[in-house]
């Protein structure tokens, strides 16, 4: 690929997922038809943002039928990891104590407290409920700056089965992560965990778990990128549970299947999620209490108040429950762990659907020293 990636076309049944003990006799299940029906219920003007997002490697060719494109991991990539076990994994979410929660003030929610990890800084839109079996959004694509060698920054969707400090999740969106990908390009990613990042799960196909079925490369660079006061680009990302199989399917651009997380790797998440979050996250050791704060930026690097063409946004935010209808989530709350470093804003205009903005520059003394 022109961006330096090497893409291997791998037989679909020889991909890493099949090394997982629980998947020995697993038969690949393509995405069910009903999950490919996309209803566009947006009242927004589609023309104002271009969505011709594609992956850079696709300019160089495609893979034959029966194979899937996988980004090759090089020896030097493995050497950048703390250990082979840690390659492609997030650090465990560190919680100070069980009472350190953010109160959402949802009147009818299961539990109002959100537990905020110490080693991540997030700005997001959140909804709590009972039976979420899907979520999607159009995510504005930028290329934020990464300051420290172990930092990474994302714009993504999370679906979790718990809002305390032990959760399972499926996640996808875009990310800049030089330690994992050896460059500072904006790349499409997927993640899963069944124990809040302690010892399970990973990005993309770096461990056994996710089963790829489509021609989208996990970890592949996304182009083009939005620019300030210039053209805006977005990528539609959705994750949906097939209630019959318990598999979580990932798709992009409304109905292009990427693959799925098989039911066998999950506990309660194979039935439904109770928490959905849309937004950005900076992972760094230099956040929260640590000064100086990292200069790794989130979103476009601008605060949410900059709005369209300045700040990173998500629109067409949707959840799906057992009615199988895509709908705007209610109730929702915009949250920011460190509002002076990165903030969030759910922009509600009369008669229009809300657009969620998030992001920020990180360190900007004296507000975020």
The length of the chain is 369
Q: What integer pLDDT is reported at residue 113 of this predicted model?
A: 67
DSSP output for 149-217:
TT-EEEEEEEEES-SSSS--EEEEEEEE-HHHHSS---EEEEEEESSTTSSS--BTTSSS--EE-SSPP
Q: Which two three-digit tokens encode residue 268? A: 């309660």
**Which residues lie across from 248 on neighbouring strands?**
241, 261
Does pLDDT of 68 surpass 80? yes
Residue 39 pLDDT class (50, 70, 90 cuts): low
DSSP strands (E only) in 72-107: 101-103
User: What is the Cα–Cα distance from 364 to 296, expressed in whole angstroms?
Assistant: 11
Does this model's pTM top 0.85?
Answer: yes
CB 338 within 8 A of CB 368: yes
Of 31, 32, 36, 241, nearest to 132 by C-alpha is 241
pLDDT digits (tens, 9 = 90+) for 111-152: 456 778 888 999 999 999 879 999 999 999 999 999 999 999
pLDDT digits (tens, 9 = 90+) for 42-67: 444 444 455 555 798 988 889 999 99
pLDDT digits (tens, 9 = 90+) for 283-304: 999 998 778 999 999 999 999 9
Cα dist. 137→121, 221, 330 in Å? Answer: 21, 19, 15
pLDDT digits (tens, 9 = 90+) for 147-171: 999 999 999 999 999 877 789 999 9
Cα dist. 266→201, 248, 276 in Å? Answer: 11, 10, 17
Instruction: Find the mean pLDDT for residues 233-257.
Output: 95
Q: What integer pLDDT is reported at residue 111 of this predicted model?
A: 47
């Amino acid at each position: 690929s022109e961006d330096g990636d090497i893409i291997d076309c791998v037989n679909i049944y020889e991909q890493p997922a099949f090394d997982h003990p629980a998947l020995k006799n697993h038969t690949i299940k393509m995405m069910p038809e009903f999950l490919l029906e996309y209803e566009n219920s947006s009242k927004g003007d589609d023309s104002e943002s271009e969505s011709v997002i594609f992956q850079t490697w696709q300019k160089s060719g495609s893979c034959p039928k029966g194979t899937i494109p996988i980004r090759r991991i090089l020896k030097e990539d493995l050497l950048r990891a703390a250990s082979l076990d840690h390659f492609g994994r997030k650090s465990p979410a560190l919680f100070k104590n069980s009472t350190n929660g953010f109160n959402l003030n949802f009147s009818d929610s299961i539990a109002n407290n959100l537990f905020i990890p110490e080693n991540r800084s997030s700005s997001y839109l959140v909804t709590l409920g009972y039976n979420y079996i899907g979520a999607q959004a159009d995510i504005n694509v930028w290329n934020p700056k990464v300051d420290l060698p172990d930092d990474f920054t994302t714009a993504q969707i999370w679906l979790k089965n718990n809002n305390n400090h032990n959760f399972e999740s499926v996640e996808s969106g875009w990310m800049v992560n030089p330690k994992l990908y050896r460059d500072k390009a904006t790349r499409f990613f997927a993640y899963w965990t069944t124990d809040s990042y302690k010892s399970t799960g990973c990005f993309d196909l770096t461990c056994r778990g996710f089963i790829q079925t489509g021609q989208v490369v996990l970890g592949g660079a996304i182009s083009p990128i939005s620019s300030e006061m210039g053209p805006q680009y977005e990528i539609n990302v959705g994750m949906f549970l097939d209630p019959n199989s318990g598999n979580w399917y990932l798709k992009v651009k409304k109905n292009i299947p990427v693959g799925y997380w098989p039911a066998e790797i999950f506990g309660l998440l194979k039935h439904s999620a109770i928490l959905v979050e849309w937004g950005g996250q900076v992972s760094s050791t230099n956040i929260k209490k640590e000064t100086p704060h990292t200069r790794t930026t989130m979103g476009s690097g601008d605060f949410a108040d900059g709005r369209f063409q300045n700040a990173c946004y998500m629109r067409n935010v949707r959840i799906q429950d057992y009615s199988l209808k895509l709908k705007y989530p209610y109730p929702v709350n915009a949250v920011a762990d460190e509002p002076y470093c990165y903030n969030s804003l759910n922009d509600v205009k009369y008669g229009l659907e809300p657009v969620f903005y998030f992001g920020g520059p990180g360190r900007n003394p004296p507000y975020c020293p």
